[in-house]
């Protein structure tokens, strides 16, 4: 499998070790940066490029996923999720790594390199890579809803709108009454 990775200065040491681990496991690793340590570098361009490469590879039929990381993983996840077609999940344990794939068909994960030991983070990444999407109808339906919103802004009808039609003013929520 091709694994696209990106970080910022907070994950440089982690990135080098991770690349060796993934290559040793038989994966093709593509590093989207940075190339050298710079304490003032900015993660968005690195993470967005990694996410774009995942989308491009998947569109071309290449089995590919992405891993983005920084100090917390939060900004990196946000950056990756700006790319159409990316479903990036912040992962902090084995269960979130597995569920990201099983339920959300996540194609990128974000990890806080300063939040975990190297061995913990690698176990999350390995679990993510090894876990398939279940394809269950409810999960596929939800992913389709996300893709529709991303494509044209469409949302499922708001069930509260129909309820509002039958409520009168005396039935509205009163915060004082609880």
CA distances from 64 to 28, 36, 111 (A): 9, 25, 18
Catalytic residue among 4, 32, 76, 116: 76
Do residues 14 and 24 make contact, with C-beta atoms less than 8 angstroms apart? Answer: no
Cis peptide before 34 (omega within 30 of 0): yes
- 139 given a catalytic annotation: no
Catalytic residue among 103, 120, 139, 150: 103
- 103 given a catalytic annotation: yes
Going by C-alpha positions, the residue among 82, 75, 73, 138 that lies closest to residue 105 is: 138
136's CB contacts (< 8 A; 6+ apart) are none
List, by residue number, the catalytic residues.
Answer: 76, 103
């Amino acid at each position: 499998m091709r694994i696209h990775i990106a970080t910022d200065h907070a994950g440089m040491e982690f990135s080098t070790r991770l690349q060796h681990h993934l290559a040793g496991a038989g994966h093709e690793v593509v590093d989207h940066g940075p190339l050298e340590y710079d304490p003032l570098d900015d993660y968005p361009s690195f993470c967005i490029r990694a996410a774009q490469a995942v989308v491009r590879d998947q569109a071309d039929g290449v089995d590919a996923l992405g891993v983005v990381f920084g100090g917390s993983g939060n900004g990196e996840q946000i950056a990756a999720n700006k790319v159409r077609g990316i479903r990036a999940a912040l992962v902090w344990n084995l269960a979130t790594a597995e569920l990201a794939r099983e339920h959300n068909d996540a194609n990128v994960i974000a990890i806080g390199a300063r939040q975990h030991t190297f061995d913990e983070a690698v176990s999350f990444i390995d679990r993510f890579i090894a876990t398939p999407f279940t394809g269950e109808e409810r999960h596929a339906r939800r992913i389709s809803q996300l893709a529709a919103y991303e494509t044209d802004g469409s949302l499922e009808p708001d069930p509260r709108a129909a309820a509002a039609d039958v409520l009168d003013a005396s039935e509205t929520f009163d915060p004082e009454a609880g």
